[in-house]
Each structure stands twice: as C-alpha cells, then as structure tokens.
C-alpha cells in the first residue's frame, strides 16, 4: 500500500465562541509519519476529527492526495483511524472487528478471511480472532485496533493518542512496532500525542500545536535544536530559560549579561531572531541541560557562570545536577554517567560553560 | 481500568459491589426486600396457585375448564396479541425518542425528557380518561376528522381494540424509552465514529453498531412493556369494550364478582406460565452473542 | 342510591355491590290463614298488637334511596300503627348471604327483606314466607298493578329495560323507534347503539327475539340460538356495552349513542337533566324489586301489616316516584303524576301490559348456560 499526501489549508473550527483550531496549514507528505504535539486542549483531536470527517471545518480545506475531501462523508474518505480508547466493537469478535471495514467494502468472503488473518498476523494476534475485545489486554486491544485500521489498506492512518492508556514499558514497545509497521507499509500517519518523547522517537516531522494554532512544524532535530519559540523550546525536550540583557554586539559576537550569575557569549547572531539584538535589549536565553558543561574550580579561574550544586539526581544513564547560580537562577545540567570519574557533589561550587551553538535567544516575553 | 474493560461490561466498568462489601452485609441489605417479596408476593401468589389445585379438593378441574371453555383461550390469546402489538408499537415509537434524548443536549433534551416523564407522573386513570375524551363519538379526533372533511359521520374509535392499543401504548411508552435511553446514552460516540470511519454509512453504522449495543436496553424495555401490558387492567377496562376483554379483567371478575378464587388462581397460573415461557424464548432470541447477555 | 340502583343491584346480584336496595316485601302466608282472609289493614295491625309486636326489622335499601323509603313509608307506618320500623340493609348479595347464615343458625333477626325479582331462585324461595295469592293483604290486590303478588313477596319498585332514544337524532314528527324491531333497523334509524353487559344477558336475548318477530307469549322458553343469531346482526352497531348505570347515562350525555336499552329509572333521570329522551316500554324486560317476609320472622304480623301498608296512600307513591325517578307498583299513584311523567309511566296500563316478564323457571334452568354463551359471544 502506498501512502497519500494530506494537505490542510487555512483550517479552522469554532464551537460558538471557542476557536478550537485556528487557520492551521500543514502539508503531510505521502508516506510520512507526522505527529501533532501539543498540550491538552490545544486542538489536536479537533484537527484530527476534521481530517477524519467527524467534524465539519468552520473554514479552510482538506485534501487527501489530489482529492478535496472537505465535504466528503467520513465513510467515503478511506482513512484508517485508531481511537484513543480503541473503539473496538464490544459485541463483535476480534476477527469480526477486523473484518468490519472489508464487509463495508463488500469484499468477497474468502478474501475477507484471508486479509483478516494477514492483518492479525501483522500485529501478532493470529490466535485471538475468536475472542471478544473485553477478553484482551490493553496492548492486545490496541493492536487489534491497528489491524482493523490497516486491513483495508488505507493510504492514510490517523491515530489519536493510541498509546495513552498503556503503561510506559508497553508504550515504548508499541511505539517501535507501530513505527516499523508504518515503514513497512508506507502508509501516511498523522499521530496525535502530548508526549514529546513519543513524538521525537517516532516522527518524521512534528507539528507543535498551541491554543489551536500551529506553533512550529519540522523534523525532531529541527524542533529540538532550533525551536522557533520559547514554547516549542520548552515543550520539546527540556530547556533552561535565563533572563539576559544584551551587553554588546559586534564583530566578535554577542555578549549577554546575567547579572551576578555571569555572562553568556555567542559567536554570532542567532538566526531565529528577526533583527540582531541591540545593547540593552532584554532577552530570553534557552539552553538544553545536556549542552551545559560543568567546570571544576581548578579547571578555570574565571568561568562565564558560577554556582553551587544543590542536588544531584541519578537517572541511570545520566545525572542531572541542579545548580543554583550566583544570581539565584536554578539551572538543570545533564551529564552522562562516567563510571569511575569523580563528579561534583551537593554543595560544591562549580563553574558552567555553554557552547555558543547550543544557545537559543528569544525576545523577552511580552507582559 | 480504561485499557481493560471488565468482562461483561462492554464499556469498561467499576468494581462490583462484592469487592466492596462483604457477603454478610450484602445479605443484610437485601433482607427487607426478601421479606417483602416472600410476605407480599410469594406467599399470597403461592396460596392462590395452591388453591387452584387443592381447593376444595385436589383436582385439575379448574385447569381443564380453561381448556374446555373457549372464552378463556380466546382471551388468553387476545391478551398476548394486544401485549405483543403494544410492545412492538412502543418499541417503534420509543426507540427514536430514546435515541434523540441521548443525542441532543440542553433545552431540547429537557423538553423531550419532560414529554416522556410528565405523562409517567400522571395517573393512568387520568390518561385513560383523556383517551376517552379524544376518541369518543363527539371527541377531539372525530371532530377534527369531520371538520377537515376526511369523514362525514363520526368514526367508531372508542371501545375498540385500536383504542385499547393506542392508549396502552401511550401509557407504557416511558417504560420502553427510559431503559433504551439509559443504555444508548452510555454508548460512546467513538463506536459510531469508528464504524463510519471504517466505511459504514449512517444507516449501516446504526444497524451494525448502535442497535446491537442498545439491545440490553431494548430487551429491558420490551420485557417491562410486554409484562406490564399482559397485566394491564384499568386502561382496557375504560377505553375497551367486551370485545377487548383481557386476562387481568377476567381474573378480576373471577375474584371480585364471582368469588371463584380457585379458578382465578388457575387463570393467573396459566397467564404466569405463558408469560415466563415467552420471556425465556425472547431472551434466548435476543441474547445474540455471549458479550451481550442481560443480567 | 335510588330505586334504579336497586334494580341494577338486582341484576348484578352476582357482584357484591354495596348498592342500596329498595324492595317490596310480600305479605305472609299467615299461620292462621282463615283468620287473615277477610282482615283489612286495621285487622293486620290489631293482630300485631295482640301478638305484642312493637317493631318490625326491615333489611331494605340504604343511602339516599333508603332515606326516601323511610320518609314516605316507614315513618308514616309508625305514625299510623305505633309499630316502629328498624331499618337495616346492604347490597342484595350481602343481604342474601346474611339471611342464609341467620336461617342456618336458627335466629333470623329480619322480618322483612327486599330483594331483586331475579334473585328468586329456589334456594332463596325456601327462606321466604309463602304468601299464597296475597289474599291476606287486601290492598295488594286492590291497589297493585297486575301481578303485584309474587307469592314469595309483593312487588315494590317496578321498571324495566326500556328502549331509550335521543330525540335530537329522531325528532318528534318523524319516525321514532317504537320497539326492538326498530332498534335492529339500522337503515331507518341509523346511529350507534348501546346494550347492557351487566350479567343479565336474557334481556338482550328477549329484545333480539322481539326484533326477530317472535310473538310475546311465545318468547319463553327463549330460542337461544335464534336470539344470538339476531344479536350477531346488531353487534357491529352496538358501540357501547354498558357496565354500569352511570355509564349508561354518560353515553347519552356525550352523544356516544343514539339509542340504548336502559334501566327505566336511568332514562327518567336523564330526562330530568334535560336530555330529550324518547322512552318505549314496548317489549321492555321487567325489572322489579319485592318485599318479602322471612320464614322465621320474629314479628310476622307487623311485617304483614307493613307489606299491606305500602300498597295504600297513592299520593306518597307519586311523590316517592318523582323523587327517586322510579315507580312503584301502586296503581293509584298514576293519578298524582304530572302530565309529562304520566305518559311514559310504567303504570300506564298500555306500558305495563307491554312489559316482558322473565320466566323464572326457565331462567333458573338456563342461567349458567346463557351466561357462559353470552360471555363467549360478547368477548369475541
Ligand atoms: N464539542 C466541543 N464544543 C466546544 N468546545 C470544544 C468541543 N470540542 C473541543 N472543544 C474545545 O476545543 C479545544 C480543543 O480541544 P481538543 O479536544 O481538540 O484538544 P486536544 O488537543 O485533543 O486535547 P487533549 O490532549 O486533552 O486531548 C478545547 O479548548 C476544547 O475545550
Ligand atoms: Mg484529544
């Protein structure tokens, strides 16, 4: 099966005075795995429902491939969908559930049997056809829902937080399975989640939603490394935000003062800013915890930033240090666990340096 | 909980009370009801049935009489016929109302609920008299028909089987609507959406998903309506004539007019047996698959 | 509870209705018939005095009807004789059951009982004093309508199942229904009809046979098959089979039917309300209540005096009739009725002679059979 492109243009949805989705435009490429990521209430489900045809858009258009489906009934859109709570028909066996879309398409009996078997095999549930959904575990139900959504080989598959109900371990396992299936089948997937890790792991691209609007769309690395807004920086991965004042901007780069805490030096003007900051401008500086390096006092006489380690959190493969800067800001620093090598302890004075390319600069939050 | 619906509850479930209360407490809780049932139902009804065979002496004469006198079989058959038609009509009329009630919200929902419930709070006697006012020779219906020129002379509406069926259907409609409503309201929208998404038109989605999922409510509504119809007394007596005589009226005659309690007991026993038989057959037929057995 | 109520109660005696009953009691066959023979009313009273009978216990009607009887008969009787009337009462079924019980324990507290003429079955007859031809009650013979003496008692309220029709449908000056043949004639007299379904199906059978042309003296024994065949004809046009007197009135008030067989009292009552009813006694089955003396009465002479007394004083009967919408068997009352009431009074010789009396022996022999056949016929 081949995926189809999905194009959403100027799409909006109003519920009375509530604007659940505002002028969203997304071009999903054929065969792409696109995640809709955003906090609760940001309009992800509403957007997905409009694509599936359950909600009529207030404005804008939806195309699948080269077909305008804005006003097409849901049953004629030929889109697969996995619901958050699976929506397996409780009165039908697993096999009947999976056969349902084929029956609706009047596929001949023998063919149905064959394709149901194949679809169940695809999700490794060959032997569960005769059971009722209530007799399956959560993960098994989830897989039946996937099999049912894929059995009629739709070019597009919509998934609304399909793993939200599963525990962490099972969720990670299913993430891999779904991703693998998607790659094997080449189907276009639009995947709703509010779990940024999940989005980062699975997606070709991520569309970040906020208050009904599209905040940024890009590959996981783009979003991670070059978030367009503080919101994205905050929502995708962990980030330290620091209030800073531009002190100088010249040929040798930019310098931001952090008051008593020290300063940050950038080699060049950050590309995401519309215009270079001028001295005296208040800015927000974002730094990923793993980009910050901890210096021992003996390593440097005059480190750019100074602070005291308040806590050390062991998280398996890495440690997180909570460092209180001299000016009072708390900074998360993440370092991989090098066994045998001494690392700072609580109460140690430490210096911090930040590589120039790891810093994002945003204008100050408007009041 | 969300990921793993309890077996037997199609839409996910709560812990059963057995998990929350010990068996001793449960027994205590049902004691008043059991006492009421034994004292107020089992004992008198048992006595009635006992009397039908053993009073004044052990004999099946009362039952033989039911078979011999054609009147009783005639009335028994008619009772079931009327109950059947009333139930079918109530289902046909009530199901869409239950659906509408479950789907709409706000003012419309309140309006529908009021239309369903207010008649329920009104005395059956009053509602039956209302039908007399409607159906009598110079009543509302006939006057309307004559004024619109649909008929020249008044039609005979009152004291007919049609009148009995119409009035009983109206009186019993809430008992059909409410159980269906309570089930349909709890069917998540996702099921219909899933069906639509998978290629079902709205009719197909209804017949393959909503309808089967609402069957527990339908079963409950049909059983309640059917059983209530079988025992209906006031309405047939008021809006029907001798040609619509039903079983409960006949039993009433035997107990209060002819004072033939043993024979009344026999009639009641036959009615009960026939009802039970039908209920069992009906539940067998409706419990289409094991996921949807009632109770 | 009027006399109508009584009459209905009679017919519905199988129901233990608490209807008040007015009834006529019959004179006794006296212990010493030869002495009684020539005695006028005063003689009867004298005999009671001599026997030391100071009171007479009457199981009669209750309620409003009972009050009327008391006013027009009990109190005047006490005034005239000094004998106190102790009234008691209940529904017919109730009274019969009580009388049977009292007889079986040998202590009968009632001297006079009023009953429906339909309840004169052999087992009841045996509880009542045989009055013979009422020779001991001279006023019955001289003042009563033909047949007032029933042997087991004397008639009191008399009426019947009249053919009543709405004059708005069949106005004066045009053809009006005048008998059961007309009731069956739906071409000449179109419109929905009503018949009683109150446990006395022989009334409908009588009407059917009349309609079918059976001559009045050949009615009994009723040809049941023929009657039901004739009833089949009218069944589609009978829209109401009334179950109570109230209902039988209501269907005329709402115009549900244009003609019906009604208790005569109900028909007069409707007239009293201003509903223009035509009433035909032609072939109306008799409905009567009678007063009887119990076999073991403790005040038999006083009881006999009372039975004779209720056949005197025609004016009281006329007043009682007007107030109760009924009629009693006292012939002379006719002279005191209003002109309007007079014409359709059952006391008119032309009306009284047109009444059909149910053959008691035939009824006793066929009651169960007819009831059963009727209940099947009416239900199907
Ligand atoms: N039927 C509706 N009527 C009114 N408002 C609605 C309706 N459905 C959604 N909304 C509103 O639209 C906004 C977006 O809702 P939506 O369900 O799309 O959010 P979401 O991103 O899917 O959130 P979540 O992660 O919690 O599922 C919310 O503010 C919600 O309250
Ligand atoms: Mg959502």
The pLDDT tens digits of the residues spanning A63-90 come to 999 999 999 999 999 999 999 889 999 9
Look at residue A187 and tell me if it is in a domain: yes
Each residue's pLDDT tens digit, C321-336: 999 998 999 999 999 9
Look at residue B245 and tell me if it is in a domain: yes
pLDDT on residue B202? 93
Last residue of some domain: A194, A228, A262?
A228
Does the distance separating the beta carbons of C256 and B259 come in below 8 Å? no
Superfamily of domain C159-287+354-379: Periplasmic binding protein-like II (3.40.190.10)
**Chain Cα centroid distance, residue B41:** 20
Same domain (yes/no): A80, A112: yes
**Chain Cα centroid distance, residue C285:** 10
Residue A286 carries which DSSP code? E
Secondary element (H or E) of residue A36: strand A33-37
C201: closest CA among C14, C326, C353? C14
Same domain (yes/no): A54, A89: yes
**Omega within 30 of 0 (cis) for the link into C314:** no
Same domain (yes/no): B204, B113: yes
Domain at B189, CATH number: 1.10.3720.10
Give me A38's structure tokens. Answer: 């955003």
- Greatest mean pLDDT among A305-314, C4-13, C284-293: C284-293
- Are C258 and C191 a contacting pair, CB within 8 Å? yes
pLDDT on residue C19? 32
| Candidates B137, B138, B243; nearest CB to C379 | B243
Residue whose tokens read 């109660």: C9
Question: Which ligand lies nearest the alpha carbon of A50?
Answer: 1
Kindly list the residues from chain A whose CB atom is less than 8 angstroms away from the CB atom of residue B193: 52, 54, 74, 81, 83, 87
Ligand 1 centroid, distance to A46 Cα (angstroms): 6
Look at residue A234 and tell me if it is in a domain: no
Same domain (yes/no): A83, A221: yes
pLDDT on residue B18? 54
Domain at A84, CATH number: 3.40.50.300
Residue whose tokens read 């109302």: B97
Domain with CATH 3.40.190.10 in chain C: 7-157+288-352, 159-287+354-379
Same domain (yes/no): A220, A320: no
Same domain (yes/no): B55, B136: no
Task: Tell me if chain B has a CB within 8 Å of the CB of A85.
Answer: yes
A360 has pLDDT over 80 = yes
C235 pLDDT band, cuts 50/70/90, is very high
- Are B164 and B241 a contacting pair, CB within 8 Å? no
Same domain (yes/no): B40, B161: no
The pLDDT of C227-237, averaged and rounded, is 96
Same domain (yes/no): B104, B233: yes
B22 has pLDDT over 70 = yes
Same domain (yes/no): B211, B268: yes
Same domain (yes/no): A313, A167: no
Number of domains in chain B: 2
What whole-number distance in Å separates Cα of residue B209 and Cα of residue A91? 8
**Omega within 30 of 0 (cis) for the link into C221:** yes
Q: What residue owns the CA closest to ligand 1's atom 6?
A: A15
- b/e map of C206-215 (b: 16 or more CB within 10 Å)? bbbbbbbebe
C70: closest CA among C229, C301, C233, C306? C306
User: Please, what CATH class does the domain formed by C7-157+288-352 belong to?
Assistant: alpha beta
Look at residue A31 and tell me if it is in a domain: yes
Look at residue B5 and tell me if it is in a domain: no
Question: Which ligand lies nearest the alpha carbon of A15?
Answer: 1
C286 has pLDDT over 50 = yes
Same domain (yes/no): A135, A263: no
B290 has pLDDT over 50 = no
pLDDT on residue C35? 40
Domain ranges, residue A171:
6-228
Q: Is the CB of A13 under 6 A from ligand 1?
A: no
pLDDT on residue A1? 56
C28 pLDDT band, cuts 50/70/90, is very low
Number of domains in chain A: 2
Same domain (yes/no): A49, A89: yes
Judging contact as 3 or more Cβ pairs under 8 Å, the answer for C and A is no
Look at residue A233 and tell me if it is in a domain: no
Look at residue B2 and tell me if it is in a domain: no
Secondary element (H or E) of residue A255: strand A253-257
The pLDDT of A14-23, averaged and rounded, is 94
Same domain (yes/no): B126, B269: yes
Same domain (yes/no): A73, A151: yes
Last residue of some domain: A176, A203, A228?
A228
A49: closest CA among A13, A7, A16, A101? A13
Same domain (yes/no): A25, A67: yes
Domain at A309, CATH number: 2.40.50.140
- Which residue spans within chain C are E strands per DSSP? 55-60, 84-89, 112-116, 154-166, 193-196, 238-242, 259-263, 277-280, 286-293
Same domain (yes/no): A151, A32: yes
pLDDT on residue A340? 57
Same domain (yes/no): B41, B110: no
B241 pLDDT band, cuts 50/70/90, is confident
What atom of ligand 1 comes closest to residue A45's alpha carbon? 22
Last residue of some domain: A172, A202, A228?
A228
Does the distance separating the beta carbons of A138 and B4 come in below 8 Å? yes
List, as ranges, residues 176-195 from C with C-beta within 8 Å of B.
192
Same domain (yes/no): B181, B228: yes
Same domain (yes/no): B140, B79: yes
Reported ipTM exceeds the 0.90 cut = no
pLDDT on residue A359? 85
Same domain (yes/no): A215, A267: no
C206 has pLDDT over 60 = yes
Same domain (yes/no): A203, A338: no
pLDDT on residue A297? 66
Provide the sign of the torsion angle of the four alpha carbons B113, B119, B122, B124, taken in this order. negative
Same domain (yes/no): B133, B53: no
What whole-number distance in Å separates Cα of residue C87 and Cα of residue C63? 11
Domain ranges, residue B134:
69-287
Kindly list the residues from chain B whose CB atom is less than 8 angstroms away from the CB atom of residue C257: 137
Look at residue B283 and tell me if it is in a domain: yes
Ligand 1 centroid, distance to A45 Cα (angstroms): 7
Question: Which ligand lies nearest the alpha carbon of A37?
Answer: 1
Each residue's pLDDT tens digit, A234-261: 898 888 998 888 887 776 778 888 888 8
Task: Tell me if chain A has a CB within 8 Å of the CB of B206.
Answer: no
């Amino acid at each position: 099966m081949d995926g189809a492109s999905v194009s959403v243009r100027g799409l909006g949805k109003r519920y009375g005075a509530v604007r659940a989705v505002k002028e969203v435009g997304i071009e999903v490429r054929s065969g792409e795995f696109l995640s809709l990521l955003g906090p609760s209430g940001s309009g992800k489900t509403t957007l997905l429902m409009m694509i599936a045809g359950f909600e009529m858009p207030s404005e804008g258009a939806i195309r699948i491939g080269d077909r305008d489906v804005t006003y097409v009934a849901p049953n004629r859109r030929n889109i697969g969908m996995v619901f958050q709570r699976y929506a397996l028909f409780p009165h039908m066996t697993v096999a009947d559930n999976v056969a349902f879309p084929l029956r609706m398409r009047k596929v001949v009996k023998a063919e149905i049997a064959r394709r149901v078997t194949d679809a169940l095999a695809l999700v490794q549930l060959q032997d569960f056809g005769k059971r009722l959904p209530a007799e399956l575990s959560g993960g098994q139900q989830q897989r039946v829902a996937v099999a049912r959504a894929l059995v009629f080989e739709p070019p597009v598959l919509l998934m609304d937080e399909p793993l939200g109900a599963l525990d962490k371990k099972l969720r990670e396992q299913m993430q891999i399975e779904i991703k693998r299936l998607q790659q094997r089948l080449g189907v276009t997937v639009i995947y709703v989640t509010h779990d940024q890790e999940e989005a980062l792991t699975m997606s070709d691209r991520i569309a970040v939603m906020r208050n009904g609007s599209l905040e940024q769309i890009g590959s996981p690395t783009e979003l991670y490394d070059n978030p367009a807004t503080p919101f994205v920086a905050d929502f995708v991965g962990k980030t330290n935000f620091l209030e800073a004042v531009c002190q100088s901007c010249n040929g040798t780069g930019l310098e931001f003062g952090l008051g008593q805490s020290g300063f940050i030096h950038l080699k060049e003007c950050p590309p995401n800013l519309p215009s270079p900051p001028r001295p005296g401008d208040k800015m927000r500086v974002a730094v990923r915890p793993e980009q910050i390096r901890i210096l021992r006092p003996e390593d440097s006489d005059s480190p750019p930033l100074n602070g005291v380690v308040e806590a050390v959190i062991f998280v398996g493969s890495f440690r997180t240090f909570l460092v209180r800067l001299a000016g009072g800001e708390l900074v998360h620093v993440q370092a991989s666990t090098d066994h045998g090598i001494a690392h700072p302890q609580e109460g140690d004075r430490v210096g911090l340096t930040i590589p120039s390319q790891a810093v994002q600069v945003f204008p100050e939050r408007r009041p | 909980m969300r990921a793993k619906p309890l077996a037997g509850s199609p839409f996910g479930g709560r812990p059963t009370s057995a998990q929350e209360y010990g068996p001793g407490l449960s027994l205590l809780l049902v004691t008043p009801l059991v006492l009421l049932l034994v004292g107020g139902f089992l004992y008198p009804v048992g006595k009635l049935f006992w009397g039908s065979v053993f009073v004044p002496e052990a004999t099946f004469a009362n039952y033989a009489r039911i078979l011999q006198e054609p009147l009783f079989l005639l009335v028994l058959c008619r009772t079931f016929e009327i109950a059947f038609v009333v139930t079918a009509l109530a289902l046909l009329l009530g199901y869409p109302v239950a659906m509408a009630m479950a789907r709409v919200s706000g003012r419309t929902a309140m309006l529908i609920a009021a239309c369903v419930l207010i008649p329920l709070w009104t005395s059956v006697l009053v509602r039956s008299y209302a039908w007399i006012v409607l159906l009598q020779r110079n009543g509302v219906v006939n006057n309307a028909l004559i004024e619109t020129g649909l008929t020249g002379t008044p039609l005979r509406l009152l004291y007919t089987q049609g009148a009995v069926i119409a009035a009983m259907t109206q009186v019993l409609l809430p008992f059909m609507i409410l159980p269906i409503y309570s089930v349909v309201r709890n069917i998540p929208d996702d099921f219909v959406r899933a069906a639509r998404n998978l290629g079902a038109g709205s009719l197909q989605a209804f017949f393959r998903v909503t309808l089967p999922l609402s069957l527990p409510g339908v079963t409950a509504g049909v059983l309640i309506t059917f059983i209530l119809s079988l025992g209906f007394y006031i309405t047939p007596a008021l809006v029907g004539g001798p040609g619509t005589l039903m079983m409960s009226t006949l039993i009433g005659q035997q107990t209060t007019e002819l004072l033939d309690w043993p024979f009344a007991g026999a009639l009641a026993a036959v009615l009960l047996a026939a009802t039970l038989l039908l209920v069992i057959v009906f539940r067998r037929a409706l419990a289409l698959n094991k996921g949807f057995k009632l109770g | 509870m009027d006399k109508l109520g009584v009459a209905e109660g009679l017919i519905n005696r199988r129901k233990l209705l608490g209807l008040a009953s007015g009834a006529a009691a019959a004179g006794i066959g006296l212990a010493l018939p030869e002495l009684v023979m020539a005695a006028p009313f005063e003689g009867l009273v004298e005999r009671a005095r001599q026997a030391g009978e100071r009171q007479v216990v009457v199981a009669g009607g209750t309620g409003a009807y009972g009050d009327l009887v008391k006013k027009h008969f009990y109190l005047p009787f006490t005034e005239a004789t000094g004998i106190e009337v102790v009234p008691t009462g209940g529904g017919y079924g109730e009274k019969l059951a009580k009388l049977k019980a009292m007889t079986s324990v040998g202590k009968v507290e009632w001297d006079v009982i009023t009953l429906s003429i339909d309840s004169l079955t052999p087992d009841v007859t045996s509880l009542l004093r045989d009055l013979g031809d009422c020779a001991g009650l001279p006023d019955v013979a001289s003042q009563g309508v033909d047949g007032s003496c029933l042997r087991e008692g004397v008639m009191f309220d008399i009426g019947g199942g009249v053919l009543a029709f709405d004059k708005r449908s069949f106005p004066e000056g045009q053809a009006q229904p005048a008998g059961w043949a007309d009731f069956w004639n739906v071409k000449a007299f179109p419109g929905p009809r009503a018949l009683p379904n109150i446990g006395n199906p022989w009334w409908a059978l009588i009407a059917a046979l009349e309609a079918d042309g059976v001559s009045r003296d050949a009615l009994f024994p009723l040809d049941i098959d023929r009657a039901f065949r004739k009833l089949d004809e009218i069944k589609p046009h009978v829209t109401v089979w009334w179950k109570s007197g109230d209902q039988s009135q209501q269907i005329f008030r709402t115009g549900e039917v244009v003609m019906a067989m009604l208790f005569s009292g109900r028909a007069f009552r409707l007239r009293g309300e201003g509903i223009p009813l035509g009433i035909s006694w032609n072939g109306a089955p008799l409905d009567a209540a009678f007063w009887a003396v119990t076999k073991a009465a403790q005040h038999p002479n006083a009881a006999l005096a009372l039975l004779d007394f209720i056949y005197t004083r025609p004016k009281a009967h006329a007043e009682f009739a007007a107030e109760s919408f009924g009629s009693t068997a006292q012939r002379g009352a006719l002279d005191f009725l209003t002109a309007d009431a007079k014409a359709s009074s059952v006391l008119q010789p032309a009306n009284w002679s047109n009444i059909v009396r149910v053959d008691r022996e035939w009824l006793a022999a066929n009651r169960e059979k007819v009831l059963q056949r009727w209940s099947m016929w009416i239900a199907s």
